[in-house]
Amino acid sequence: MAEFVTLEVADGIGTITIARPPVNALSLQVHRELVASARQANSNADIRAVIVYGGEKVFAAGDDVKEMAELSAGEMALLAGDIQAALGAIATITQPTVAAISGYALGGGLEVALGADRRIVGDNVKLGLPEILLGVIPGGGGTQRLARLIGPSKAKDLIFTGRFVDADEALAIGLVDEVVAPDEVYNAARAWAQQFVGGPAKALAAAKSAIDDGLATDLESGLAIERRAFADLFATKDVGIGLQSFVANGPGRAEFTGE
């Protein structure tokens, strides 16, 4: 049974919660439990959207530096792939995902959040990738996901300096998508996730995959990915439901089954 990362399901929404007081430092055990929770979410057809949350005080203040300091270069070479996979585990979830961020999301904590489709933060947050201050670079996907999200120039500024940004700057540069009062972070994330409960699950997964996979390649290859995904959806029950509902009742009235 997981000690620090849990997955709870209610009303079609899964919540992955990181709880390792006092600051949710991401130890190797937390890494393993993040991967396990992401896999559980993927395999649960009852989950239509996923929230990743660190609680009311802090999302995650980074990797467990004390644990990392004890690793040799050889050990880190063996672990680097596992670390990257763990901190990017949220990105492997096929359902829509949203990170609900309170307090701090730093280093590996921000890398976890970068794997989500959307980021909602409290207006008191501090975000950053300060690994350079330890003499290293982000190793959990930060150099790649941040640059794709906010552009290489802004990503280089944050990574080269290791500085923290507040909620206003994070929103302005596109690092986060919504800023709310600190005690409304989880509720706002749940309101966003709720939109997809009862939605066409296979189409949502296809849209997410087409966007993410397309961004990793050239335009022509991306268009081919989209074309295949679009055609494949016509074998699903929800397409028939959606088309028939549109003809009979107009848009936005279909009652999808997720099949």
State how far the Cα of 42 lies from the Cα of 7, in Å rounded to an integer: 11
Q: Which two tokens stand for residue 166?
A: 């507040």
Residues of each domain in the chain carrying CATH 3.90.226.10: 5-194
Q: Which two tokens stand for residue 59?
A: 């999302």
- CATH: 3.30.465.10, 3.90.226.10, 3.40.50.720, 3.20.20.70. Which one for 5-194? 3.90.226.10
Is the alpha carbon torsion for 246, 250, 252, 255 positive or negative?
negative
- Characterize the bridge pairing of strands 104-106 and 49-53: unpaired
Q: Which two tokens stand for residue 76?
A: 């880190």
Query: What is the structure's pLDDT at 68?
Result: 85
Each residue's pLDDT expressed in tens, for the chain with a length of 259 residues = 789 999 999 999 999 999 999 999 999 999 999 999 999 999 999 999 999 999 999 999 988 888 888 888 999 899 899 999 999 999 999 999 999 999 999 999 999 999 999 999 999 999 999 999 999 999 999 999 999 999 999 999 999 999 999 999 999 999 999 999 999 999 999 999 999 999 999 999 999 999 999 999 999 999 999 999 999 999 999 999 999 999 998 888 888 998 8
Altogether, the residues listed in the chain come to a count of 259
State how far the Cα of 74 lies from the Cα of 13, in Å rounded to an integer: 41
Taking alpha carbons only, the member of 100, 115, 96 closest to residue 31 is 115
Residues of each domain in the chain carrying CATH 1.10.12: 201-249
Query: What is the structure's pLDDT at 258?
Result: 87
Taking alpha carbons only, the member of 180, 171, 189, 63 closest to residue 117 is 189
Q: Does domain 201-249 have CATH number 1.10.3470?
A: no
Query: What is the structure's pLDDT at 64?
Result: 86
Query: What is the structure's pLDDT at 172?
Result: 98
Catalytic positions, please? 111, 131
State how far the Cα of 140 lies from the Cα of 87, in Å rounded to an integer: 5
Number of other CB atoms surrounding residue 173 within 10 Å: 16
State how far the Cα of 221 lies from the Cα of 215, in Å rounded to an integer: 10
The CA-based dihedral angle spanning residues 138, 38, 31, 104, taken in that order and rounded to the nearest 10 degrees: 60
Query: What is the structure's pLDDT at 251?
Result: 86
Q: Which residues contact 84 (CB under 8 A, 6 or more apart)?
A: 139, 140, 141
Whether 233 contacts 225, CB under 8 Å? no
Residue 100 backbone dihedrals phi, psi, to 5 degrees:
-105, 110
Q: What is the pTM of this model?
A: 0.94
